[in-house]
Amino acid sequence: MTEHFNYSLLPHNTFHIDARCRRYVEYDSEDELRKILPSLTHERFLHIGGGSNLLFLQDFPGTILHSAIRSVDIVKSDGDDVWVRVGAGLDWDQFVEYCIQHGLYGLENLSLIPGEVGASAVQNIGAYGVEAADLLTLVETIDVTTGEIESMRAEECQYGYRTSIFKNSLRGKRFVTHVTYKLSRRFVPRLDYAALRRELEARGLSEDVLTADDLRRVIIDVRREKLPEPSETGSAGSFFVNPVVNREHFERLLAAYPEMPHYLLPDGNVKIPAGWLIQQAGWRGRQVGRAGVWPKQALVLTNLGGATGKDILALSDAICTDVEKSFGIVLQPEVNFI
């Protein structure tokens, strides 16, 4: 276990905000975490992962906790099906790469998503037609009050689009320690996402010859083309959740914008890309002070160097105001404001 006081969080948030915390604690086992819990009783605390979904608006006056549990173990096999238990502190993309290298398939579409494994279970991360909840089977947690280990099956986690019970009723009450994913030794590509199919076709990669390595490489290339290099430009990836509107609202917008991209959902509602709305509102490539909207993907807000969290928030508020005025849609941030 490591412990620091008056600690800079600059290395622990992808927005590159130089906020500080009173105390920073990193643990590498459940036993170490239990030893920390009594000290949290009378102070503010926050458990973070890779910091890819956080925006610090000010210094944090309490304890920041971080998991260094990074184990990967096969806990069960049944034919082609393999259950892999992984520590919450492992970098997510390293886990995806590990799985492909060891012939364990299913996570390829989630390549290069920033963050750590624990956050995958909290956020229900997703990309290119695949969500963590599609493959996740078990989440192991520690109760902050009792220190007891409590395991939850996927169906108990109330997964939805970029949400879970850990972001709602259990927020701040349970810390994720391990996540188990059900993968397969047989590679079956998920190519439901039209843009992904088009990219594969452009590269001459047909489904019958496509390998998991091919698919991962293409997804990484596409993401890097759209997103800023993390070491150079601070961002949190997608800043807003893609909004969902009812059919009536959708029909009104489609009449005004016949080329509007959209995705029909099983419940009859319609998902509209937030990036398209922001671009249509005239924000792509614009900046306010040292905060900007990424020119290649309007869904990404960036720290152009020296921006504070409040600068990013001001830009976010201005975008939300214009989108609501133009489309009657209230954008919701995917990023957590701290």
| Residues acting as catalytic residues | 162, 238, 334
- Angle 48-50-55 (CA atoms, 0-180°, nearest 5)? 70
CB-count exposure of residue 175 (10 Å: 0-12, 13-18, 19+): buried
Contact 84, 76 (CB under 8 A): no
SS3 per residue for the chain: CEEEEEEECHHHCCCCCCCEEEEEEEECCHHHHHHHHHHHCCCCEEEECCCCCEECCCCEEEEEEEECCCCEEEEEEECCEEEEEEECCCEHHHHHHHHHHCCCECCHHHCCCCCEHHHHHHHCCEECCEEHHHCEEEEEEEECCCCCEEEEEHHHCCCECCECHHHCCCCCCEEEEEEEEEEECCCCCCCCCHHHHHHHHHCCCCCCCCCHHHHHHHHHHHHHHHCCCCCCCEEEEECEECCEECHHHHHHHHHHCCCCCCEECCCCCEECCHHHHHHHCCCCCCEECCEEECCCCCCEEEECCCCCHHHHHHHHHHHHHHHHHHHCCCCEECCEEC
Rounded Cα gap, residues 152 and 134, in angstroms: 15
HSE on the CB side for 197, CA within 13 Å?
A: 8
